[in-house]
Structure 1
Amino acid sequence: MAFRKFFILLIFLFPAALFSQEREVIRGTVFFDVNKNGILDDDESGIAGICVSNGKDVVKTDAGGHWNLPAGSPRSVFVIKPAGYTVPLNEDNIPQHYFSEKQIQNLEINFPLYPSDENNRFSVLFFGDTQARGQKEVNYIFHDVVEELIGTTDATFGVSLGDIVADEPELMDEVSKGIAQIGIPWYNIFGNHDHDRDEKLNEYKDKTFRKFFGPSTYAFEHGQVAFIGLNNIFFNPDGKYHAHLTAEQLEFIANYLSFVPENKLIVLMMHAPLVRTANNDKLFEILRNREHTFSISGHVHEQINVFIDEELGWKRAVPHHHLINATVCGSWWCGLNDETGIPHATMNDGAPNGYSVVTFDGNNYSVRFKAARRPADYQMNIYLPDELKQTQLDTTVVLVNVFAASGQSTVEMRVGNEGQWVPMQQVETIDPECLRMHRLNPILDYETDGNTIDDILGYKMDFPSVSTHMWEGRLPQNLSGGTHTVTVRTTDMFNQTWTSHRIFRVRPVNRN
């Protein structure tokens, strides 16, 4: 009884001492960094209404730009860049919107922001898996994709959608330094091949990623768009992973969106596809009142437009558009090398390796695929024999791989300038050229002159997959002998139209 009275007395006299850990907060200020020195100087003022987060809780700054968050054990604290502002960039153009676990030990941290003129119409580069195995493949990234983008004025910033490297996390620094040459801010998403193998717990698998890029779940705003970067790769203690969002991440999304007006477009960026994320139903519940949404991922090494409807758990009548983005590495930098020594890296669905340019206009968006080192209008391959007999016209199929098409695309063909446009039919099949390249690329397990056969021919391609963007049509049966042109025209879900041609010959029946 005496001990109980003593304990109650302690609570009454020294509550802060007994419960300081529970009452402890992290605090700071978001401010106009007028002289851009990163320090809150006496003559610099705070900014009201800016969101700050510890990865779960989200608060807004008060009239003086001040904020505080529960201390707990956050691994980072970050400001959610609002539209009309920028954050500092490091030498590799990586946004410095965060403070790490070590940096927040003093419990008071200040975030500098700079005013910025932002248009509501802007474009973003999205790189699927760059996935470099060693310095040789790091160089492939630079020569195949990065160099054509240096100095671009078409994109405001870029995002890598995970699997930046192939199980060598320290190479992230090398990849970043090359991508930095493009000259625009660059955000990064965590992928399964970016993890630290020596870490056993899921919460530390992104240790090296955080070292270079900051928190692996975060958000920022630009124009009328709220971007949310998600680490949806969850590692089990046995080292295996699956696509999953933690309770803390879901709480962060819900807390943040409570501050985001419903007329803004919400863009979710992740590595593994949303449809493969085990508990996506909880995310769909958070988004159920959001009319304007779009999501994008990598991981699959194919390009697929997925429309998530009510049958797949979406809570709204209009399906949610999820883009499984093209990969920079294509099929893991596999296949025969071209004249510059870079593998053709065709993806498993027959589309070339490359990236996407997503243009945002208010809360609307459109997507354009860009093949590596190819013209912007290279959007399809047409397959048709160079020559065929007139007797083969009724059995010959024109097959087209429209790299970025979806079920909402229209594809049609005609022969000659005066021919009638005929709708083509979407089919599920393997891209024939992808299959041919696969068969040309046998890899054996031996060494030649000190070099593995991989060094000579490149890594063996996976067997091609059934592509989701193939169409077929029939030639007119009354074609005369001679040289003809088949033209294919496609219009996508964003009303973008592309055309391509293929010349072929018809051999008359009476020709020897």
Structure 2
Amino acid sequence: MIKRRDFLKTAALSSAALVIPNINIAQPQTDSKYLLNNSFLRINGIVTADGNPLKNVVVSDGETVVITDENGNYELITKNRFVFISIPSGYKIPQNETGTALFYKEIDRKKRISFYPFELEKSGDDTSHSFIVFADPQTLDAQDMVRFKTETIPDLKLTIKDENLKNVFGVSNGDIVFDNLKLYPDYQERVKESGIPFFQVLGNHDVDKKAKTDETSVNVFEDYFGPAYYSFNRGNIHYVVLDDIFWFGGYMGYLNQKMLDWLKNDLAFVEKGETVVIFSHIPPYTTQALRNGDKKENDRLRIVNKELLYDLLRDYKSYLICGHTHESQYLQDDSIDVHVCGAVCGAWWTSDICIDGTPNGYSIYTVNGVSISWKYKSTRKPINHQLRVYKPLSELNKTDEIIANVWCYDKNWKIEWFEDDVLKGEMENRIDFDPLSKSLYDDKDKLTRHKWISPVKNDHMFFAKPSKTAKTITVKVTDRWGNIFKESIDL
């Protein structure tokens, strides 16, 4: 395999992304920090580590993509708000004082500052690393933030210690807040307490709802977290964060052409065949419409132009890690692994489970070389809590079948059941409701907050019918890596 730095050198000679147009530099037309005008500014800088220049570091303004030369220098012409680097493997993730990742500089047009240096620090070999995905923390108010502070963050810190996670970073995968953008500072305080750097993804509840256009809807988010799309590297993996929220007073899942062009240029520096992990809030696809029997897919629950993204990813082993739906689903779409992660807030902090029965929690990904494994960590539950079993003819399950919810299930998992220690075979997979979620969210009188919440059918429910003489039932789950989880109930 070509080493990444050698590949970058080759790509630099051939990529059209490096061309800097020979144009006149216009004077800025406004002092507004938000309005993107047609005036261009020539900027340059140097990327160093421990005082030494770094070559072949990818630098971008969200359109043009360049790499640093032998002396660590870069130059580009921009009309955009930020310049940022794609943090190279083997270097620490810089952090703001708030704990969030600092990989960008805001371009000061008012003072017409043109020099933007970046200083990195070596971290050593990060071929093995881990990352945490917070899908939908979605805090609405101080009450929600207290739960995030006292439940999620302490659980994460304990998990990092107990699981001995190394070279770990976090990703808040959208809907960081629930329309209340004034809570961003509180969120920053919480992730700082985690002790790991966090990258942020824009969610539909993170945009400025007062904005009249998609372009201006991200301004407040960018005030706190920098650009809404960017890339970085850890070990052998290239990571990309995308903004798939198209805001027009409502929203839909959509990737604009400017960002797609940037992604094409960014991927020009990634060798074909390598692994690319993409974080976006809205999934490219789920089976929710199929599960609900809907004739048409909801454009708020999918990326309507996902094919354009898939075309750019054809030459790579790709994962798309998403949130948004407050349920769990792991599937393949057009040979791309799509992960829809359960929500930190569950069903908007009304209880302890999502609308499909997945517990409130977060996802843990472990990377060794190009091998990626994952598991779901239920908040305030043991790491091996990977299923919930319902007793037949009980308060929650009125049927004569044993029911199991295995929220991290995919087609490579095996779900078996035992009756009085005798293997009976694999359980039947059906699309159905989780009994606990149905009990909690079907009866609107039980909902003291957010009475619009409803349970949803999911595709990770399993069923088996025990004999009338059975005394103990055990459900055995074997995941795609051979890990085994069991839960038993007495009848």
Q: Which runs of 4+ in 1 moved over 6 A?
A: none
Name 1:469's counterpart in structure 2: 460
Distance in structure 2 (CA, Å) of the matches to 1:129 and 1:17:
44
Decide which structure has the larger Cα Rg and report it: 1
- The secondary structure found in structure 2 opposite 1:194 is coil
Distance in structure 2 (CA, Å) of the matches to 1:200 and 1:439:
36
Deviation at 1:263, TM superposition (A): 4.1
Match of 2:80 among 74, 77, 82: 74
Distance in structure 2 (CA, Å) of the matches to 1:178 and 1:111:
26
Q: Given residue 48 of structure 1, which amino acid in structure 2 is its aligned partner?
A: K
Distance in structure 2 (CA, Å) of the matches to 1:213 and 1:54:
15
Q: Indicate conservation of the 8 Å contact 1:57/1:251, yes or no.
A: no
Match of 1:19 among 1, 5, 24: 24
Q: Given residue 187 of structure 2, which amino acid in structure 1 is its aligned partner?
A: V
Name 1:251's counterpart in structure 2: 261
The answer on 1:381 being equivalent to 2:388 is yes
Deviation at 1:473, TM superposition (A): 1.1
Name 1:125's counterpart in structure 2: 132
Kindly tell me the number of residue pairs found equivalent between the two proteins. Answer: 434
State the TM-score, normalizing by the size of structure 1.
0.81
Q: Given residue 456 of structure 2, which amino acid in structure 1 is its aligned partner?
A: S
Deviation at 1:321, TM superposition (A): 0.9
Q: Given residue 475 of structure 1, which amino acid in structure 2 is its aligned partner?
A: P
Name 2:70's counterpart in structure 1: 63
- The secondary structure found in structure 2 opposite 1:305 is strand
Q: Given residue 96 of structure 2, which amino acid in structure 1 is its aligned partner?
A: N
Q: Indicate conservation of the 8 Å contact 2:401/2:463, yes or no.
A: yes
Name 1:200's counterpart in structure 2: 212
Worse overlay, 140-149 or 365-374: 140-149
Q: Given residue 240 of structure 1, which amino acid in structure 2 is its aligned partner?
A: G
Which whole-Å deviations, capped at 9, do the CAs of 1:258-288 have from their partners, x for residues lacking one?
1112343100000001221111111111111
Match of 1:299 among 300, 324, 346: 324
Name 1:88's counterpart in structure 2: 94
- The secondary structure found in structure 2 opposite 1:351 is coil
Q: Indicate conservation of the 8 Å contact 1:142/1:179, yes or no.
A: no
- The secondary structure found in structure 2 opposite 1:176 is helix
Name 1:261's counterpart in structure 2: 271
Q: Indicate conservation of the 8 Å contact 2:431/2:458, yes or no.
A: yes
The gaps in structure 1 that reach 5 residues or longer are 1-15, 35-43, 310-318, 335-342, 389-394, 444-453, 505-512
Q: Indicate conservation of the 8 Å contact 1:118/1:222, yes or no.
A: no
Match of 1:428 among 415, 427, 431: 431
Match of 1:185 among 197, 210, 214: 197
Distance in structure 2 (CA, Å) of the matches to 1:17 and 1:100:
23
- Matching of residues 327-476 of structure 1 within 5 Å: 327-334=343-350, 343-344=351-352, 346-385=353-392, 396-417=400-421, 419-439=422-442, 442=445, 457-460=448-451, 462-476=453-467
RMSD of aligned residue pairs (Cα, Å): 2.2
Q: Indicate conservation of the 8 Å contact 2:392/2:401, yes or no.
A: no
- The secondary structure found in structure 1 opposite 2:101 is coil
Q: Indicate conservation of the 8 Å contact 1:304/1:324, yes or no.
A: yes
Deviation at 1:29, TM superposition (A): 0.8
User: Against the structure 1 CA distance between its residues 134 and 489, is the aligned structure 2 distance closer, same or farther, given a 3 Å change threshold?
Assistant: same
Q: Indicate conservation of the 8 Å contact 2:355/2:441, yes or no.
A: no
Name 1:487's counterpart in structure 2: 474
Q: Indicate conservation of the 8 Å contact 1:412/1:488, yes or no.
A: yes
Q: Indicate conservation of the 8 Å contact 2:100/2:191, yes or no.
A: no
Match of 1:163 among 149, 163, 175: 175
Q: Indicate conservation of the 8 Å contact 1:352/1:371, yes or no.
A: yes
Deviation at 1:405, TM superposition (A): 0.8
Distance in structure 2 (CA, Å) of the matches to 1:200 and 1:354:
34
Distance in structure 2 (CA, Å) of the matches to 1:246 and 1:323:
22
Distance in structure 1 (CA, Å) of the matches to 2:449 and 2:211:
31
Which whole-Å deviations, capped at 9, do the CAs of 1:290-344 have from their partners, x for residues lacking one?
1x211101110111112102xxxxxxxxx2110011100111112xxxxxxxx33
- The secondary structure found in structure 2 opposite 1:170 is helix
The answer on 1:240 being equivalent to 2:246 is no
Q: Indicate conservation of the 8 Å contact 1:414/1:487, yes or no.
A: yes
Q: Indicate conservation of the 8 Å contact 1:380/1:402, yes or no.
A: yes
- The secondary structure found in structure 2 opposite 1:382 is strand
State the TM-score, normalizing by the size of structure 2.
0.84
Which whole-Å deviations, capped at 9, do the CAs of 1:11-50 have from their partners, x for residues lacking one?
xxxxx99933498521111112x3xxxxxxxxx3321110
The gaps in structure 2 that reach 5 residues or longer are 1-20, 27-38, 286-301
Which whole-Å deviations, capped at 9, do the CAs of 1:437-456 have from their partners, x for residues lacking one?
2356616xxxxxxxxxx7xx
- The secondary structure found in structure 2 opposite 1:378 is coil
Which whole-Å deviations, capped at 9, do the CAs of 1:155-206 have from their partners, x for residues lacking one?
5111000000011112111012112111011111000101112321211211
The answer on 1:288 being equivalent to 2:314 is yes
Q: Given residue 53 of structure 1, which amino acid in structure 2 is its aligned partner?
A: S
